[in-house]
Amino acid sequence: MSVADRAPVRPLRVGIVCPYSFDVPGGVQFHVRDLAEALLARGHEVSVLAPADEDTPVPPWMVAAGRAVPVRYNGSVARLTFGPVTAARVRRWVGSGEFDVLHLHEPVTPSLSLLALWIADGPVVATFHTALQRSRSLQMAYPLVRQSLEKISARVAVSEDARRTLVEHLGGDAVVIPNGVWTGTFAAARPDPRWTGTPERPTVAFLGRLDEPRKGLGVLLAAVPRVLAAHPGARFLVAGRGETDADDVRELLGDAAAAVELLGGVSDEEKAALLSSVDVYCAPQTGGESFGIVLVEAMAAGATVVASDLGAFSRVLDDGAAGVLFRTGDADDLGATLVRVLGDPALRDRVREAADRTVPRYDWSVVTDRVLAVYEMIVEGRDAPVGEDPASLRGARLRRLTRTWGEERVRLRGDA
């Protein structure tokens, strides 16, 4: 039986906590937003608690928990909120919500999710997004959160890399449910003539924070001269916010800088149009990635993906079948890979065909089914008959769900 064939879950009251601020949204915030909208579309009641300033526009189902403080973490800047005033807000929200399920994202991050975990006394699902080889902060946090972690009814990791980080730093295990993408939105996006490539002037896109070294813009820019030597008309479209500007690019590349166009920040609609227009989407990240949601977006939009061979990226790209991998951080190898991909239309066609088979497993329709199956499991465990151990029931059901979802992935991979 596939995940989609499961019996429908009764309407639930779901409280979702996001630790990161919606003032400057990123991957976790978008995941929380899309999950909330997917659950609402299924008829469930949802309330999301997240940091946000009073003047930040938020949807009606979100409760703003106040201003966040920027903190450097995992090669980026996380905006978190903590303290007694915030704790009182969390307590009021949890108490008034009467949730069937409390779903916490990054529950050991010192922000709203950790506070909610301390306060919670009902069924709790925790999703872990972070993937790190070694984290001193997680090792230091473990003694402080060990007892609270026992409150968690079910653990979810967005990737095998995130699951490994959880197991190695906090113990226990988790079922893997990937990030979701509204794949139909990207598949239906119309190309923009400003960004559409041609055989003589192919286009390569990059999306990400320009001033975060781990996003790899420097690696891509260093590869530009080699690509231009083989494809003189190539254009590199760089979208994202940050302190990098045209002067920085000119200083690095000289005359080759004319091939690089800095688009600045783009809206969701512009991102979809950009990805549907370009010949190649390049993901040159150097580390700190647990999934790679933009890779799925690019595949759904029809772009050929060229990505660094990080473990998380390799898994999303089906070990290189649904995208072309290069050695992480190696600008020469990236340049050679882009030259090969841009010069081989048949290769791009093969990769896109494999991507078409890969993308469905990440659609929110599938991901939401999996999340709801976990909710159903822990709600049933809470109502287990006297004499049955809810923890044992949950463990058995998680193992069964993991097997079912593994079979579903194999089925989707085999579908033409």
- pLDDT digit string, tens, across residues 203-248: 999 999 888 899 999 999 999 999 999 999 999 999 998 888 788 8
pLDDT value at residue 268: 92
Helix, strand, coil share of the chain (percent; to 5): 50, 15, 35
- Identify the H or E element spanning 149: helix 136-149
The CATH class of the 183-360 domain is alpha beta
**17 DSSP β-pair partners:** 49, 104
Q: Would 3-180+363-414 and 183-360 be classified into the same CATH topology?
A: yes
Higher pLDDT, 48 or 81: 48
Higher pLDDT, 245 or 93: 93
Q: Is the pLDDT of residue 333 over 90?
A: yes
Both structure tokens of 261:
């166009």
Residue 396's pLDDT band (boundaries 50, 70, 90)?
A: low
Both structure tokens of 112:
């709203």
Both structure tokens of 121:
């006394």
48-57, 89-98, 139-148: segment of lowest average pLDDT: 139-148
Q: How far is CA 35 from CA 72, 368, 369, 391, in A?
A: 26, 7, 11, 26
Residue 60's pLDDT band (boundaries 50, 70, 90)?
A: very high
Higher pLDDT, 171 or 352: 352
**Sign of CA pseudo-dihedral 172, 175, 176, 177:** negative
Percent of the chain with pLDDT over 70: 84
Q: Is the pLDDT of residue 349 over 90?
A: yes
> CA 92 from chain center: how many Å?
29
For all residues of the chain together, what is the average pLDDT?
A: 87
**327 phi and psi angles, rounded to 5 deg:** -65, 125
Helix (H, G, I), strand (E, B) or coil at 50: strand
* Distance, CA of 130 to CA of 110 (rounded, Å): 14
Residue 373's pLDDT band (boundaries 50, 70, 90)?
A: very high
Sorted by sequence, the CB contacts under 8 Å of residue 250 that are 6+ apart come out as 257
Instruction: Over range 7-27, report the average pLDDT.
Output: 84
Q: Residue 301 burial by CB count (10 A; 0-12/13-18/19+): exposed, middle or buried? A: buried
* Distance, CA of 390 to CA of 383 (rounded, Å): 8
Q: Is the pLDDT of residue 94 over 70?
A: yes
Q: What is the 3-state secondary structure (H, E, C) of 120-134?
A: CCCCEEEEECCCCCC
pLDDT in tens, 99-121: 999 999 999 888 899 999 999 98
Please determine, looking at this structure, whether the domain spanning 3-180+363-414 carries the CATH number 3.40.640.10.
no
pLDDT value at residue 172: 84
Q: Is the pLDDT of residue 272 over 50?
A: yes
Instruction: Over range 176-201, report the average pLDDT.
Output: 96
In the chain, domain spans: 3-180+363-414, 183-360
pLDDT value at residue 386: 44
* Distance, CA of 349 to CA of 309 (rounded, Å): 21
Instruction: Over range 259-276, report the average pLDDT.
Output: 95
pLDDT value at residue 403: 54
Q: How far is CA 131 from CA 102, 251, 311, in A?
A: 23, 34, 10
pLDDT in tens, 130-156: 887 555 555 555 566 677 788 999 999
* Distance, CA of 203 to CA of 259 (rounded, Å): 10
Residue 52's pLDDT band (boundaries 50, 70, 90)?
A: confident
